[in-house]
Amino acid sequence: MNVKEALNVLETAAASDVDGIKEIFSSEYKHLRKALVTHAPHAMWDKLKDAKDFSVDYTVEKAQTIDKSVHDNAWYYIGGAALVAGLIGFIVGRSNK
């Protein structure tokens, strides 16, 4: 039996007898419980740290790309902002009547 099959059997047993599973882990499988308690949190924090690092790197890269684009094409962005502001002013002005 491999680990995946064992986990499937454990999942099936846990669905039917939660108290029995708790008792077995507290008395018979102390080494497995210790391994899960000591290593699982570290793995979780490592994955969270990797996700944070990826998101920071991605955000910085995209911000630099946008910054370069705005500097290279400043008048397009100024015109776009003026157009959006004009449309919002027009819509708000019409809704007050």
Strand runs (DSSP E) across the chain, as ranges? Answer: none
Rounded CA separation 10/6 (Å): 6
* CA–CA separation, 62 and 56 (whole Å): 10
Find the angle CA(21)-CA(18)-CA(48) to the nearest 5 degrees: 85
Euclidean distance between CA atoms 27 and 22, whole angstroms: 9
Interval 12-31: pLDDT, tens = 777 777 777 677 667 666 66
Whole-structure pTM over 0.75, yes or no? no
Instruction: Give per-residue pLDDT as tens, 58-97.
Output: 999 999 999 999 999 999 999 999 999 999 999 998 876 5
